[in-house]
Structure formats: C-alpha cells, structure tokens
Structure 1
Amino acid sequence: MGITHEKRAIIIAGLIIGAIAGFLVLAGNPANMGFCIACFIRDTVGGLGLHRAAPVQYIRPEIIGLILGAFILSVIRGEHVSKGGSSPMTRFILGVLVMIGCLMFLGCPFRLILRLAGGDWNAILGFVGFVIGIGVGTVFLKNGYSLKRTYKLTKLDTAVMPVLQVVLLIFVVTAPAFIFFSEKGPGAMHAAWAVSLIAGLVVGGLAQYTRLCMVGGIRDIILFHETKLILGFVAVLVAAFLVNISFGNFHPGFANQPIAHTDGLWNLLGMALAGFCSILLGGCPLRQLILAGEGNSDSAVTVLGLIVGAAFAHNFNLAASGAGPTFNGQAAVIIGFVVAFIIAVVNTRQQSA
C-alpha cells in the first residue's frame, strides 16, 4: 500500500521545518536551538522582566510567529473555533510542570530532536525518558483519564492570544526601555527579528495544517500502532541533520555540547516529567501553542502555565545549566511527578465512578 496524502504532507512539512530550524542556527540562533518552545518561552519571560537571569532575556519572534501562523491559517481554513473550559486550573498546573521538566533537560521535545540532529547524545536518554513518561500516561488514557469536555466561548477569548503576540512584536521591534535584552549568553544569540518571525509563521502554519505533535505521535504508536504523526518528527530530524552536517554543525558526543549537561539520570527524568504531563494535557508544548492560535483557551491557559513555570524555574533556581541540575530543580521534578500522578489518578477515577 502506498503512502497516503496525509502522511506525505506530514513528511514534507517535517522536512521543511527541520531545514528551517537548521538554517535559523546559521542565521544566529544558539546551536541545536533553531526552535525550542521551552527555551524561547523562557527567554521571552526574561525579556519581559518576569525573571532576571540576564543571559536568557529576549522576546523570541519565533513564538510570536508560531501562534500567529496557526491563527492566520486556521481562520483561512475555517478551523478557528473559540472553545475552552476543560479543567483550566489543572491544565495551568500541568503547564508549569512541563516547563520544569523541560528546563531540567534544557529543551522541549522539539529541541530534543534538534539536539539529536546536532550530535548531542545526551538527548538519547532524554528521548528514553520522554517515551517512558508518555508510556505511563497512556496507561491512564486506557483507563479513562480525561479532563472533561470543552465549551463554546466568545470570540473575545480567542482574540486575546493573537493580540498579545502583536504587542510583543511591537516590543521586539521598538525595544522600549522596560524590555530586557541579553548582552551575552543564549538570549543574545538570535537571528534578525524579521527572519525569526517569518520562520515562526511558516512553521506555525505547517504545524496547524498537519497537526504535528511529538507526544501525539508516540502516543498513537503505543495505542493504535499508527505512525503518521511521528513521521513528521523523523523528517524534522533528517532535515536538520542534513543541514547541520552540510554546514559543519554536527558534533557527535556527550561532552561540551551547547546549552546541555551530561547528567543522564536527570536528563531522563526531566523529559519523563515533560512527556507524562504533556500526554495528560493532550499535546506537546508546540501543539499547545498551535491550539492556542486556533482559538483553544484551554491551551492558552496551558501556555500561561509554561510562562509561569519558566519564571519560577529561574527565580527559584530550578533550571539546570551546562554545569548540571540544581538541588532545587531535582526536588521540583520529584514533586512534579507526585502532583502529576495525583492529577492522573483523580481524573481517571472520576471518569470510572
């Protein structure tokens, strides 16, 4: 049986996205970080002064582009629907926990793929942890886990997120005195704002069209033996690898990898927490941004959780660094697992009661 049109579209989209990610590094983004939802939200939070870690303060136009790209294409395709009301506070907490897990690993699932494409073998254990977290989450899905139904909301609810992105874009372009810009470190490494914005718009549109989601891809393999979604991320890996090796950005090994640490246990546990919480949310951080652009207020609340999680991570010394994890971060990940399991158990029992 030949490849379906849907699978072909996902593969093509993945190849384009992977190539864009590789070229963004050539344009100035940090190595192995053409895109990273967690890192870019953290940088944006710093740019707004919500944390004061000077090396990671820059409002990332890629995030703005992702949301606006999904918004524009969903409107064009008639798929922009205002809905929400599915356990918003629970989603907020899970968003915080996803960010804590990602910043322990130093990257979201998207960056995990890009780190592998750049030869960072520390991401292998991160991937193992990610799969384990998703696998545990699917056990709860099989037993009826749910955060309840959504409801139709007013158009005003859906307008908030796109409007905020336009405001943030104005801040990036005009650089008012109350916005922070890193002078060194990862936050100071970025492509020109217009290049980053266009890249975000394209990737946001492609992700909206194909419904790309790495969590969904692994979940579908486990539950339904369906490979459709994961093919997109295999394509991202291949394209980013080809760009990296063509321009000398492929450096295989564990040591001296950019914006990474070599503590395998906590790389694994950080991504396990991110994977577990993401499947309880129904999608990875990239998917949450796309859904927020499509008008899903529950995903917008999740994004707010990611934002607060990033602020907490740097204000309370939870985030790892190239030197490795902090004690506070290790404690936060363990507490995160406890909270996530309570959420999973409670929302599974409620459905079976």
Structure 2
Amino acid sequence: MEEKKGIIFTGAIVGIIAVLLVKFGNPANMGFCIACFIRDIAGGLGLHRAAVVQYLRPEIMGLVLGAFIMAIGKKEFHVRGGSSPFIRFTLGVVVMIGALMFLGCPLRMILRLGGGDLNALVGIIGFVAGIGLGIFFLNKGFSLKRSYKLPKSEGFAFPLLNVGLIALLISAPAFIFFSEKGPGKMYAPIFIALAAGLIVGILAQKTRLCMVGGIRDLILFKDTYLISGFIAIFVFALIGNFALGYFKMGFLEQPVAHADGLWNFLGMALCGWASVLLGGCPMRQLILSGEGNTDSVITVMGMLVGAAICHNFALASSPKGPTPNGQIAVILCFIIVGFIGYFNSEMSSTNKQVEGDVKIG
C-alpha cells in the first residue's frame, strides 16, 4: 500500500509540474513529451533542419541526471548492456516514428487527454492494442537475450553527455540551432525546466513509473501499481488545466495535434508494440539510461536518429495531419516489428536453433 501511495504521489507531482511548465512557456499540453523533446534536441544539434522544432530541451537532461543521482544514492547504479543492440536501436527508431505520427509519447498522450484533447482517447485505444500485440509475443517467448556487466565508465558516459548538452544550451554556440518560431520557440526558463526534469527523474527512478509497464502488468497480472501513477498524472493535469484555464475539450484545433483518428490509432499502436518489446516506454528508457543501462542508451540513440529521419524524410505529422511518407513508414514499421517479434520468439525455428547451440556450447 505504501508503494502505491508513492507512485500516486509521483503521478500527482508529474501532472502538476507538466501544467506549470506550460504556464512557464512550454507548448500547450506539452509540459513533458519525451518524443517531442528528443525531436527538438535532434533539431538543436542539426540532425534535422525543421526550423520550428529545434531546441535543447533541459527537461530531458534533467530526467537522465535525476535518475542517475537517485540510482547512485540508492546504490542501484548497475552498468550493463549488450542485449541485441542493433535491434534495440531499430526499435527506438520505430517508437519515434509511431510517436511522431501521433505527435506525442505515451506521457504526452495522457497530458493531452488531461487538457481535453479527445484525440488522445483514440491514441490510448491504439496504444493498448499495440501493447496487446507485444504481450502476444512475450507469451510466445520473445526475448532480446541477456545483458552483461560492463565497466562503470560505460554507465557514466550518457549522464556526462547530458551534462555536456546543458553546457551547450547555456553557452549557445553558433553551431547549435534554436527555433525562432513554432513549438521549438516555446519553452520554460532553462533552470526551471532542468529542475522539473531532475524532480521527475528522481521520482520516476524511485517508483519505476512506466506507462507501457502499467498497461502490460494490468493485462498480464491484474497489477495496478504502475498504472496508478499515470491515472494520477491525468487527474492532476486535468485539475491543473481547469485551474489555469487551459482545458479545451474536443477533437479539433487542439495544440500540436491532428484529428485523423486512424493514424492516431496506428501511430500509438506501433509505439506501444515496439515499447513492450523494448521493456519500457520512452520515459522509462531515459530513466534506465541514467541507471547505467546501456541497452536503454542505445534505444534513446535510436529515438534521436528516428526523430531526425522523421523530419528529414517528411514522416512526422503536423497539425494538418499525417503525411503520405509517414503513413508508408508506419506500415513498413509494423512489418519490421512483426519480423523482430517473430525471429526473437519461440515461434521461430531459427531462434530455437540458436538457443540450442548456446546451451550445447
């Protein structure tokens, strides 16, 4: 019971902070969005040239460093990796393609709903369907194989990279890009955003907050622990939006969103499916990265590259709706994830043979 109180408290804090970040300058219904913020960082680093989404979002750096600080303090910083790195990188790309079809990660999906955006309901239905697909493969023995203990220097590298990104944000050298209009121009003051990320990173590390894990555990084990956190995020975001006058119910003219139900559904279904195979949602991957999990670092790098691909090849949706290129990419990604699921489960004779060879060796 005490543990559940802890994750409900965490969800309440996340919901409140998300609304306050909008008050301080972040785009509406985007106090936190892991996919959108990683996309903005990709733009800030020049990996894509979509001028309206370029900014080094300190919330992301705060999430990683908050988790890192908490993991060190609790002696839970364990450096490990080597579990199917290229597949994890590919799934990271896929998660981003799905999220940018919907225009938001699972966390923003809940925040959008808390702001009255009913398109998020369609996204949630798709997300649950995608998690259901992932559970099907888990029940068929899906695995990306074991990870291995690595030198501590491997685990410190990613947190240090995030410290470097903070330094680049503050110093603003000429080779870093900053949007002059659009969502990338809308941001909370640097140290407020960084503090928000640190607080959420610390709490998320302590409670293992994860939207994918919450729905997965609810379906598989009838365990409501993790999902309780996201229910709390919704409730407190809803209260905060009402209190500040941000709540606007409907499907149309929602901020940084489109109303194409089919592709909202498919985008989040793809995101949910790939996230189950990865073992956690985008936010959870950042938290694990701060704990020394280099498999999650590889996933985050896949998401970063995926964001660049989305904007360099016109895959990302806009408030006008999905693009033809994005629709093709989502369908191709469903096929790719299907192959990954099949060949890494007990359904594949190739996988059985590999496992048999490992046991014999």
Which residue of structure 2 aligns with residue 184 of structure 1? 181
Match of 1:85 among 82, 98, 101: 82
Aligned equivalents of 2:289 and 2:152: distance in 1? 13
Aligned equivalents of 1:193 and 1:45: distance in 2? 18
Q: Does the residue aligned with 1:258 lie in a helix, a strand or coil?
A: coil
Which residue of structure 2 aligns with residue 60 of structure 1? 57
Match of 2:296 among 293, 299, 308: 299
Which residue of structure 2 aligns with residue 147 of structure 1? 144
Residues 160-188 of structure 1: per-residue CA shift (max 9 Å, x gap): 10111011000111111110110100000
Letter aligned with residue 250 of structure 1: F
Residues 94-136 of structure 1: per-residue CA shift (max 9 Å, x gap): 0000000000000000000000000000111100000000011
Letter aligned with residue 194 of structure 1: F
* Moved >4 Å (runs of 4+): 350-353
Aligned equivalents of 1:76 and 1:225: distance in 2? 32
Q: Shift of residue 89 of structure 1? A: 0.5
Letter aligned with residue 109 of structure 1: P
Which residue of structure 2 aligns with residue 199 of structure 1? 196
Aligned equivalents of 1:247 and 1:19: distance in 2? 11
Which residue of structure 2 aligns with residue 320 of structure 1? 317
Match of 2:123 among 126, 129, 133: 126
Q: Shift of residue 137 of structure 1? A: 0.6
Q: Does the residue aligned with 2:145 lie in a helix, a strand or coil?
A: coil
Aligned equivalents of 1:8 and 1:79: distance in 2? 22
Alpha-carbon contact 1:144-1:352 (below 8 Å) kept = no
1:106-117 counterparts in 2 under 5 A? Answer: 106-117=103-114
Which residue of structure 2 aligns with residue 25 of structure 1? 22
Aligned equivalents of 1:172 and 1:133: distance in 2? 36
Letter aligned with residue 221 of structure 1: L
Match of 2:43 among 43, 46, 51: 46
Which residue of structure 2 aligns with residue 289 of structure 1? 286
Aligned equivalents of 2:169 and 2:250: distance in 1? 36
Match of 1:239 among 233, 236, 253: 236
Q: Shift of residue 73 of structure 1? A: 0.5
Letter aligned with residue 276 of structure 2: I
How many pairs are equivalent?
Answer: 350
Match of 1:219 among 211, 216, 219: 216
Aligned equivalents of 2:168 and 2:341: distance in 1? 39
Residues 301-326 of structure 1: per-residue CA shift (max 9 Å, x gap): 00000000000000000000000000
Letter aligned with residue 89 of structure 1: F
Q: Percent identity?
A: 61
1:138-177 counterparts in 2 under 5 A? Answer: 138-177=135-174
TM-score, structure 2 length as denominator? 0.96
Q: Shift of residue 352 of structure 1? A: 5.2
Aligned equivalents of 1:161 and 1:205: distance in 2? 16
Q: Does the residue aligned with 2:116 lie in a helix, a strand or coil?
A: coil
Which residue of structure 2 aligns with residue 35 of structure 1? 32
Q: What is the RMSD computed on CA atoms of the aligned residues?
A: 0.7
Aligned equivalents of 2:194 and 2:240: distance in 1? 20
Letter aligned with residue 91 of structure 1: R
Aligned equivalents of 1:48 and 1:126: distance in 2? 29
Letter aligned with residue 187 of structure 1: G
Q: Which residues of structure 2 form unaligned runs of 5+?
A: 354-361
Which residue of structure 1 aligns with residue 326 of structure 2? 329
Establish whether residue 100 from structure 1 lines up as the match of residue 97 from structure 2: yes
Aligned equivalents of 2:88 and 2:46: distance in 1? 24
Q: 1:144 to 1:352 in 2, by over 3 A?
A: farther
TM-score, structure 1 length as denominator? 0.98
Letter aligned with residue 312 of structure 1: I
Q: Does the residue aligned with 1:348 lie in a helix, a strand or coil?
A: coil
Aligned equivalents of 2:114 and 2:255: distance in 1? 13
Which residue of structure 1 aligns with residue 359 of structure 2? none
Letter aligned with residue 226 of structure 2: L
